[in-house]
Amino acid sequence: MTRQKRPDLGSVILDWVRENGIDWQGLSDATGIPVGTISSKWCRLARSDEGQAAIHTRPRDIHDALELPTRRFAVDVPAPAKRRDGKWLTALLYGDTHFHPYEDQTALDVVMGIARDLQPDVLVHMGDLVDCYSISRFDRDPARLGTLQEEIDAARTHLHQMAQLVPNAERWLLEGNHERRLEKAIWSIPGAGQSVVQLRKVQQTLNWPTLLDLANIGYGWVPTREQSHKKILPKWILKHGEIVRKFAGYSARGEHEKYGRSGSSGHTHRTGMYKKRDHNGWHTWIETGCTCSLTPEYMNDPDWQQGCVVLTFRQSTGAFQAETIDIQHGNAIWREAEYAA
């Protein structure tokens, strides 16, 4: 007895398509071959010359209107934008740390990791480096009450650490509203004490550049009143900020409405961005987040976000890119790398 040769599946499908069109259920019913097997084989056949010929000779049906299988278009590809290499200016912004006791070391560890890998041209602390907890006019927890010197020592240690991480960066510290607590405390000294603080030597000593030893660490100091006029980054305002609105990004909008230019500010303890394009150009304002604790004893469940910002400028064209980096529970993702403290 001679064994009958089983017909080739591809030939069976091609013959069926020429006579009946694409009806895999009908072919399955007629041959007993599973629909999935037929469909899988046809996916390969449809790209061949025989498959295309079978498609074009089959009876017209609903599939003609849909052009199944779909054909690829032969189109010209426009020239993609060229990569422009050259000198770039990078900046890392972070702030609202509140040494001591409100700093969050895990958030600072993430910022330090990004600083180490980025090696920015400019490093800016956006203000409220020192909390001035001990001279605050608000109620204070006596169990946590330390000294102003302890806060200064902790802040100086951090500035030294950052200077060692990015030794070639231009480094700046902005005055925040918490740093201004020192000024207000001096102004409120009563009676004869005012004569003491008026002494030139006292005035030369009782200021943040001297107390933090900024010159020896390599930091520039920008008082509040000078921040909106200080040229640190190209066409970009840097300030601690004083506008606080309800949601992230709202305060950024308020700062932009005040200046009509791009910039960054802290103070709100939130990360957010506001963009606007008008006849004066393209504008972006960013809230830089905080690196302090999110559970202070003086506030319940604050809507704060830890983070930092990386800015990249091409000075010759004015182009810039702003990256907001969110830090969540000591973790952040930036440029295909994860930072975990």
Average pLDDT over residues 199-210: 84
171 C-beta neighbours (distance < 10 Å), count? 20
The two structure tokens encoding residue 133: 């907890």
Average pLDDT over residues 332-340: 94
Please give the share of the chain, as a percent, with pLDDT higher than 90. Answer: 54
What local confidence, expressed as pLDDT, does residue 58 receive? 57
User: For 63-72, 241-250, 257-266, which range has the lowest pLDDT when averaged over its residues?
Assistant: 63-72
CA nearest to 214, candidates 146, 156, 167? 156
Name the band, by pLDDT with cuts 50, 70 and 90, for residue 206: confident
What local confidence, expressed as pLDDT, does residue 164 receive? 95
**Segment (H or E) for 214:** helix 214-217
Name the band, by pLDDT with cuts 50, 70 and 90, for residue 210: very high
Phi and psi dihedrals of 271, rounded to 5? -100, 135
Average pLDDT over residues 225-233: 96
Q: Per-residue pLDDT for 187 more than 90?
A: no
How distant, in Å, are the alpha carbons of 34, 230, 243, 285 from that of 257? Answer: 67, 19, 11, 10
**Residue, of 226 and 55, whose pLDDT is higher:** 226
Average pLDDT over residues 87-115: 95
Q: Per-residue pLDDT for 293 more than 80?
A: yes
Please report the sign of the dihedral spanned by the C-alpha atoms of residue 290, residue 293, residue 298, residue 301.
positive
**Residue, of 275 and 85, whose pLDDT is higher:** 275
Average pLDDT over residues 308-335: 93
Phi and psi dihedrals of 64, rounded to 5? -60, -40
Name the band, by pLDDT with cuts 50, 70 and 90, for residue 158: very high
Strands (E), 149-244: 170-174, 219-222, 237-239
- CA-based end-to-end distance of the chain: 78
What local confidence, expressed as pLDDT, does residue 62 receive? 46
- Beta-bridged to residue 93, according to DSSP, are 124, 309
Q: Per-residue pLDDT for 101 more than 90?
A: no
Please give the share of the chain, as a percent, with pLDDT higher than 70. Answer: 89
- Mean pLDDT score across all residues of the chain: 86
Q: Per-residue pLDDT for 209 more than 50?
A: yes
CA nearest to 325, candidates 141, 188, 120? 120
pLDDT digits (tens, 9 = 90+) for 55-81: 776 555 545 555 555 656 667 777 777
